[in-house]
Chains A and B, each alone.
Chain A
Amino acid sequence: MDFINHQLFIKDINVHIDPILPKKTAIITHGHADHARFGHDHVIATRQTIDIMKIRYGDKCAKKFTPLRYGQRYSIKNFDFTLYPAGHILGSAQVLIEKDNHRLVITGDYKVGKDETCKNFKLVKCDTLITEATFGLPIFQHPDPKDEIQKLIRSVKMNKNNCHIVGAYALGKAQRVMNLLRQQNYNETIYIHGSLEKLCEYYSKEKINIGKFEKVSSKDKNFYEGKIIIAPPSALKDRWSRRFPNPIICMASGWMTVKQRAKQQGIELPLVISDHSDWNELLDTINKSKAKNILITHGQEDALVYYCKKQNLLSKPLSIQGRSDEEIE
């Protein structure tokens, strides 16, 4: 495992995983902006991640693209790379790196729970595990997302004169919320913020059931009474949200577990729906991976490092520059 440094850089072959700055060869775990950036020479990722990067940054956002199927091996000199589903968002992948009989897995962002909008997480046994720790505290125990989405549906039924604006990250979370609504037989048109349109269209094209959606365009205030609108979190505080009648501000995020955080952000209806593993899932993954060496990246790493040390697993935090320790998802 000495072949990779704390920046997830493999010097021997000049390969980076999820680099922040433009690099020669970049393996990209998924399309979120803190992982997938513009301007690399060569991007290696799943087909869907490459599609998403092109939608967000344009077709020429990298000079060369190599799409990999899940499970397909790709070699650079004596390093073998394989991508496995991470269950985080559409196209998200873990990276298995094999060298001289050492297996190292970089989970990227992942969740273990079921999700119809992407391939479900696959556990990969390894010697060294580099895991994320976004929700690495035992207070984070995500509830069943179906119950959370029912809260939204109940509130919509009870408050017919209000509209519900749901803050959800534009890529992944927004479509997951839409899909969860459909699973619970909510069949009305869902209204979306303009910045979500292309990604929603892409999810539809990939045959993810997000149902009928339409961009917010009507000037008639009352038109949105009783409707569900999905917007990126940044738009909640923006002028944009003022156009709606008596909005009830909702947010779909794992952070919503903590009431004080919801209150700080002015969220009236918190929905604990996360695309990251919760505490128990993180521990379970660490244990089942059989890895003896655990490195922990961005998030609440202190508690997880403490836990691993107690289990006699070699463990240390990896601080990767450019990832803030909070409010990413």
Chain B
Amino acid sequence: MKKFSSLLHNLILTPSRNIKIKLLQDYFKTLDINRAYALAILSNQLSFQFIKASKLRELVYEKVDQHLFDYSYDYVGDLAETISLIWPTKKEGKSENLSTLIENIKKIKKSEINIEFSKILSQLSNNERWTLIKICTGGLRIGVSERLVKTALADLYHKSVNEIEEIWHGLEFPYENLFQWLKNETSKPKIDFKKLFHPMMLANPIDEEKDFKRLNASEFQAEFKWDGIRVQLMVSSKSVSLYSRTGDNISSAFPEIIENTKGDAVIDGELLVGRNFKPSSFNDLQQRINRKKASRDLQKKFPVFIRAYDILFYKGKDLRKLFLCERRKYLEKFQKENKTNQIDLSSIIKFKTWKELTKYKNNSYDDLNEGVMIKLNNSEYLPGRKKGYWYKWKKNPKLVDAILMYAQRGHGKRSSYYSDFTFGVWKENELVPIGKAYSGYTDKELLVLDKFIRNNTTNKFGPVREVKKEIIFEVAFDDVFPSSRHKSGVAMRFPRIHRIRWDKPTNEVLSIEEFKKEFKIG
């Protein structure tokens, strides 16, 4: 564990890509099971069921005064690091291997997790504790991408990184076949590509000024961009499975899809909540995502379906080298042969000029899509975000002016700045918060805001500073819903700071009633 934690420590601190690769390679040269665990961790394939951020907070509050912890967390801005530093250390125990430690943790029973995991944390050094917490909560954020890990492995054994990419999703812990092949002891692992998640094709945002001048509208197909979760559905006579964009198997969360889909294909689509193929709001979808299982009741209340965009395989045939317009024919064929209540097709928008398409983008027939997708008819299905094939064109966001009320220090690379802002609108003579934003401003604006907040604090509530009500943000947001959880009665989707309205006096900001009226909230 000492060795792996110092690897992560060095990776996070070195800015140089080459040094990162060298550090990774030095670690992968070790031949024991630890390197398999390291690979699983660095590529986000290891997870623990019981140990989540909320559990860790619970454990740390048993050891440390809650207020003192909160002050510290506010300062550090990183949960793993705060806990690792503040945890009262016993005399360090003997350092376990990474693999032994993880296997021990996996063996802990749910009922004993508090005692046993605390015991483990107490025996580790600061840095090991930090590493273990990062491993448990996932998302290392150490400036090392999956791609970089693969590159380090490929270079070390003189293979090409694309060869590793190809078989990656078919590999499983402890990656014996991968390492043996890398060392030329065996041939390349045989992967059953039919059962394998295929990396998805993604779109780039369109640059209205440049791209529309350059691109010929007749060469493109347009569809609505639906606001659900992107999925890959793999269906054959033997099994059906559903994958998220990142390749996680999410089948168990959507049993109605798994039970009712037929045919033999790999489909790319959007998972939406709704009845009779009429999508309802993203708010409803949220009742279904981040759940491992769905009860009958939940399925009834929030039924899901897939709106199919594309098809990758049809009856065992790989269609990815065909053009989109040809694949579409296969998709329609698949849909006709296997009609269910779980899959419909994303309809194609008829348009002749870009200008004509604009009205579909902004005035879409209901409010539930985010804009339109523009896809080259002659595009193969290419993994990743390749330029020049698929574009997304988002609706103009909704905008509202609101007054900065509270600020809090940010996390990660913004951890020393006041960068999380709560803003509100008027309710009689008081302000009522309507949302919180962490992004959208420039670095320069952030410095100005940070300084304003430090110099104009009127009140402190733990880490939160209340400030003089002087700054007006023009807030952009995708949507707004009624909410019983918030005092204002509204909840925004993806609010961000659009610009700072230095010119506007605070009395011109809307009241909550006017706000609700303008955005049609009952």
Q: A residues near B, CB below 8 A?
A: 137-141, 257-264, 266-270, 300, 302-303, 306-307, 310, 326
Contacts and interface: CB of A to CB of B under 8 A. Distances in A.
Contacts of A303: 67-68, 71-72
29 contacts: A137-B68, A137-B71, A138-B68, A138-B72, A138-B86, A139-B72, A139-B82, A139-B86, A258-B81, A259-B13, A259-B78, A260-B76, A260-B78, A260-B415, A261-B416, A263-B12, A263-B13, A264-B413, A264-B415, A267-B13, A268-B15, A269-B13, A300-B75, A302-B71, A302-B460, A303-B67, A303-B68, A303-B71, A306-B71
Given A139-B85, A260-B412, A300 B13 contact: no
Contacts of A261: 415-416
A264 B85 contact: no
Interface string B380-423: 00000000000000000000000000000000110110000000
A306 B66 CA distance: 11
Contacts, number: 65
B75 A268 contact: no
A242 to B, nearest CB: 15
A226 to B, nearest CB: 18
A266 B12 CA distance: 10
B64 interface: yes
A327 B68 CA distance: 21
Contacts of A139: 72, 75-76, 82, 85-86
B85 A257 contact: yes
Interface string B74-111: 01111001100110000000000000000000000000
Nearest to A326: B416
B375 to A, nearest CB: 39
Nearest to B415: A260
A36 B5 CA distance: 42
Contacts of B67: 303, 306
Contacts of A326: 416
Chain B interface category by residue count: 20 to 34
B53 to A, nearest CB: 17
A138 B413 contact: no
Interface in B37-90: 64-65, 67-69, 71-72, 75-78, 81-82, 85-86
Contacts of B415: 260-261, 264
A264 to B, nearest CB: 6
Contacts of A260: 76-78, 81, 412-413, 415
Contacts of B460: 302
A68 to B, nearest CB: 37
B9 interface: yes
Contacts of A306: 67-68, 71
Contacts of B9: 259
B141 to A, nearest CB: 10
A28 B15 CA distance: 41
B99 to A, nearest CB: 24
B130 interface: yes
B474 to A, nearest CB: 29
B14 interface: yes
Interface string B265-280: 0000000000000000
B156 to A, nearest CB: 20
A326 B409 CA distance: 14
> Nearest 3 A-B pairs (CB), nearest first?
A139-B85, A303-B71, A139-B72
Which of A258, A267, A306 neighbours the largest number of chain B CB atoms within 10 Å of its CB?
A258
A139 B68 CA distance: 9
A270 B71 contact: no
A259 B142 CA distance: 11
A139 B85 CA distance: 5
B13 A270 contact: yes
A268 B14 contact: yes
Contacts of A140: 85
B130 A264 contact: no
A278 B246 CA distance: 43
A307 B68 CA distance: 8
Contacts of A264: 413, 415-416
Contacts of B130: 259
B137 to A, nearest CB: 16
A47 to B, nearest CB: 38
Nearest to A264: B413
A84 to B, nearest CB: 29
A257 B85 CA distance: 8
